[in-house]
Structure 1
Amino acid sequence: MKGLLLSKDELVKCENAIEESIVRAVETSKMNGAILALSGGIDSALVAVLASRVVDVFGLLLPDRATSDPGDMEDARDLAKSLGMDYELIEIGGIVEAVYSARPNLGPKECRLAYANVKPRVRMIMNYFASNLDGRIVLGTGNKTELLMGYFTKYGDGGVDLLPIAGLYKTRVRQMAKHVGVPEAIIKKPPSAGLWKGQTDEGEMGISYEALDKILYGVYDLGLSYGEIQKETGVDEATFTRIMERVRDNEHKRNMPPITDITAVIGP
């Protein structure tokens, strides 16, 4: 779709804006640097490359032995070394299992999503434990596509201090990753949150990022109608409606919790 892909000049402008936002967040918070969870995927790799240029970044590798791909951790470790980032690997499987054991009468077959969401919430705890110990802000890795779709865990990978690449659709993340030199093996890897074995983002959402980005960009950036989107992408009405409903239903994830207005009841 015209306009979705960035020009060379736009890539440079986005690159500079992201780096400046990271520096500003660290300086404003009066912290020593940043914490970043490295998954071995493209989003965290892009944030790592950009952040490591401008602030002191400590990487956390937080695999769960039950579901994490060892190859992802190798990619994460290799990237950290190539960037000169200090990092630590902490296996979170025991913590995850301890949470599961609190409800032994239920299992992942009955409550798959609830079980899957434990992992990103444990990672959030580990990020902030390290953040408090070292005086660093926590950098998130969510992109614009994920935020609009609500494809993240509330108070899990959504619990961060700054979302540096949340203004970029996944299509643009891939462009930016190539632009800044993220290893090709990471760029080509099927996106996965590692929630369970064989899980992929596109498989779970039921649509490719390429098609999804065209729809979201058409609606939210260009203001196109369904008819115009259909002409551009060929998407059927049922798929379009499902995507729009998901964006609407996940609005709560993109906002702070509502506050009950007591002043309206008792006055100032």
Structure 2
Amino acid sequence: MTNSSTFQAEKINQHIVKWLLDYANNAKVKGFVVGISGGIDSALTSTLCAQTGLPTLCIEMPIHQAESHVNRAYEHIDQLKKRFSNVFNERADLTPVFETFKNQVPASENEAVLNLSLANTRARLRMTTLYFFAGLHGFLVAGTGNKVEDFGVGFFTKYGDGGVDVSPIADLVKSEVRLLAEFLKVPESILKAKPTDGLFGDDRSDEDQIGANYDELEWAMSQMEKGKTIEDFNGREAEVFKIYKRLNTINQHKMIPIPICKIPENLK
């Protein structure tokens, strides 16, 4: 877990905003689109994009969403619009689209597999929506994944919330995300909320799904980077390290480039 006394929030803030602005200018795009979930990652990302001064479109995309998530999303968007004149918002209710999709595909006797497939479908419908708006406005889709999610346990949907143009906070672990969000005055309700992917239409948290919280996962990530193995730990530490190692292994396909079958020159 990052030490707040050594975390240089202001300099990191300035670095990310400059990186976003430079990237957008070099790509000759007009602004950013960010999906707003009511969580800390999307709140931080949208605030950073807003600080560039470029038009920043915040989109809320409910699919049978828990009321608490929707309320936090609106609170953040309202606050951001008051702080930054370049921020505007849209709402795309994807619930009927999701229900139509469900009615057009077969069900499965394996309820767990079916529910996971449908959860990933929600994320991919949202990605499609973000790119629709990005295309309309000539904007970039800004990703909201943090380092633990994107490069540690792979806790994201491939071509869902993983389908983005730029990833401004993907080199920040969750504790760093919290520190930077506090520095940027993200609403208290979001800072205190349990992290959740919001893909199941209820209030289950990321910890409920993973079996470890982000502070534990950060610890495991740092230990694995040091070359530690499960034999080095016991008790809860061993349990958390095992969870992290398993997810890091099975989700490598999300973290590495798409495999390409190279054809030998003599066969072409």
Once the two structures are superposed, residues 155-193 of structure 1 have per-residue CA deviations (whole angstroms, 9 ceiling, x without a partner) of 000000011000000011111111121111110011111
Residue 101 of structure 1 aligns to a residue in which SS? helix
Quick one: which amino acid aligns to residue 207 of structure 1?
A: A
Q: CA deviation at 1:243?
A: 1.3
User: 1:263 and 1:38, CA in 2 relative to 1: closer, same or farther beyond 3 A?
Assistant: same
Which stretch of structure 1 is more off in the superposition, 244-253 or 75-84? 75-84
Once the two structures are superposed, residues 173-224 of structure 1 have per-residue CA deviations (whole angstroms, 9 ceiling, x without a partner) of 111111121111110011111111122111100011111111212332xx15
CA distance in structure 1 between the partners assigned to 2:48 and 2:14 by the alignment = 9
1:175-194 matches, cutoff 5 A:
175-194=179-198
CA distance in structure 2 between the partners assigned to 1:136 and 1:193 by the alignment = 24
CA distance in structure 2 between the partners assigned to 1:239 and 1:190 by the alignment = 19
1:258 matches 2:256: no
Pick from 10, 13, 17: which aligns with 2:11? 13
Which stretch of structure 1 is more off in the superposition, 80-89 or 191-200? 80-89
Pick from 43, 46, 55: which aligns with 1:45? 43
CA distance in structure 2 between the partners assigned to 1:66 and 1:133 by the alignment = 26
Contact kept in structure 1, 2:60 and 2:90, CA below 8 Å: yes
CA distance in structure 1 between the partners assigned to 2:238 and 2:90 by the alignment = 47
Structure 1 residue aligned with 2:105: 103
Contact kept in structure 2, 1:75 and 1:186, CA below 8 Å: no
Structure 1 residue aligned with 2:223: 218
Structure 2 residue aligned with 1:116: 119
Normalised by the size of structure 2, how large is the TM-score?
Answer: 0.89
Structure 2 residue aligned with 1:92: 94
Q: Gapped runs of 5+ residues in structure 2? A: none
Structure 2 residue aligned with 1:158: 162
Contact kept in structure 2, 1:36 and 1:48, CA below 8 Å: yes
User: 1:100 and 1:178, CA in 2 relative to 1: closer, same or farther beyond 3 A?
Assistant: same
Structure 2 residue aligned with 1:140: 143
CA distance in structure 2 between the partners assigned to 1:9 and 1:74 by the alignment = 29
Quick one: which amino acid aligns to residue 57 of structure 1?
A: T
Q: CA deviation at 1:238?
A: 4.0
Q: Sequence identity, in percent?
A: 30
Contact kept in structure 2, 1:19 and 1:51, CA below 8 Å: yes
User: 1:80 and 1:105, CA in 2 relative to 1: closer, same or farther beyond 3 A?
Assistant: same
Which stretch of structure 1 is more off in the superposition, 63-72 or 41-50? 63-72
Q: How many residues matched?
A: 261
Residue 245 of structure 1 aligns to a residue in which SS? helix
Quick one: which amino acid aligns to residue 169 of structure 1?
A: V
Residue 19 of structure 2 aligns to a residue in which SS? helix
Residue 173 of structure 1 aligns to a residue in which SS? helix
Q: CA deviation at 1:76?
A: 3.6
CA distance in structure 1 between the partners assigned to 2:261 and 2:118 by the alignment = 30
Q: Gapped runs of 5+ residues in structure 1? A: none
Normalised by the size of structure 1, how large is the TM-score?
Answer: 0.89
Pick from 122, 129, 132: which aligns with 1:129? 132
Residue 88 of structure 1 aligns to a residue in which SS? strand
CA distance in structure 1 between the partners assigned to 2:178 and 2:3 by the alignment = 10
Give RMSD over aligned pairs. 2.3
Contact kept in structure 2, 1:61 and 1:76, CA below 8 Å: no
Q: CA deviation at 1:237?
A: 2.6
Structure 1 residue aligned with 2:82: 82
Contact kept in structure 2, 1:57 and 1:86, CA below 8 Å: yes
Contact kept in structure 2, 1:218 and 1:229, CA below 8 Å: no
